[in-house]
Amino acid sequence: MAIKIGITGGIGSGKSVVSHLLEVMGVPVYISDEESKKVVATDPVIRKELCDLVGEEVFSGGKLNKTLLATYLFASSTHASQVNGIIHPRVKEHFRQWSSHKECLDIIGMESAILIESGFADEVDCIVMVYAPLELRVERAVRRDNASCEQIMQRIRSQMSDEEKNKIMNAFKENKIQILVSTTVIEVGVDVSNANMMVIYNAERFGLSQLHQLRGRVGRSKEQGYCYLLSEATHSEQKERLEFLENHHDGFEVSEYDLKIRGPGDLLGQKQS
């Protein structure tokens, strides 16, 4: 079985250079930014959920309106959590399929700017954090993306700094922090064996796949894990979804049920069913 290396770092830190060096050495690297674009463009469930969240214009002429999606995503941490909650579980499954075809190799890699926040830290055996001075990161990103300094800084501010991530997660793992209150940006990346209880507020607002991923953050040791879904759902469909999740623990069953009630969308047109 291949050893999986996770490569991460902030915008413009130089992750791509490290990934390229590995590829030159014969190590295949899953570039999550590129692969996620392919998944978003072809997955009917993602398309439907993004249209419900952002509006049907996010897929203009059947193609993803990247500018509109980026504007929505980087507008606030709440928007980022909503979009990531739709996309990340599907990309994680895509990575698992990709890596399953490379089990005969010694080493494979995954590059992701949000490796920890997206929950991909669970998918790799070790993590390489790539650092660079802020000024250099901005300069690189402006040149690469043909964007303004203000736009790049907005994107950087929307992401937790690498230093802050390490500080908080290490404190939680070492039991210096007993209770962690956060958005899904942190919750999805938690891998702490002694974490045995999670409380999710307004559970009806999350997708079933995301809720399934979240509850998997607890009960990762011999101790019994508990996940409480607090909801103010008033519609019968919302209640039925949460009740299904309560009674089913297999990820494939949850995904199939989610597809059944949401539908695949209109694959040949702009209208989403």
What are 222-272's pLDDT values in tens digits?
888 899 998 888 888 888 989 999 999 888 898 888 878 776 665 555 554
User: 187: Cβ–Cβ under 8 A, 6 or more apart, which residues?
Assistant: 180, 198, 214, 217
What share of the chain in percent tops pLDDT 90?
21
User: According to the model, what pLDDT value does residue 4 have?
Assistant: 92
pTM metric for this prediction: 0.57
Beta-sheet strands, E only, within the chain: 3-9, 29-31, 59-60, 63-64, 107-111, 126-130, 197-200, 226-229
Taking alpha carbons only, the member of 234, 244, 233 closest to residue 211 is: 244
pLDDT greater than 50 at residue 176: yes
What share of the chain in percent tops pLDDT 70?
88
Residues found in the chain:
273
Beta-bridge partners for 198: 227
Cα–Cα distances (Å) from 272 to 31, 42, 73, 105, 204, in that order, read: 29, 14, 21, 41, 21
pLDDT greater than 80 at residue 58: yes
Q: Encode pLDDT of 8-28 as tens digits.
A: 888 888 888 899 999 998 999
* Alpha carbons 169 and 176: distance in angstroms, whole number: 10
User: According to the model, what pLDDT value does residue 19 have?
Assistant: 92
Q: Encode pLDDT of 92-145 as tens digits.
A: 999 999 999 998 999 999 999 888 777 787 788 888 888 888 888 889 889 888
User: According to the model, what pLDDT value does residue 23 have?
Assistant: 93
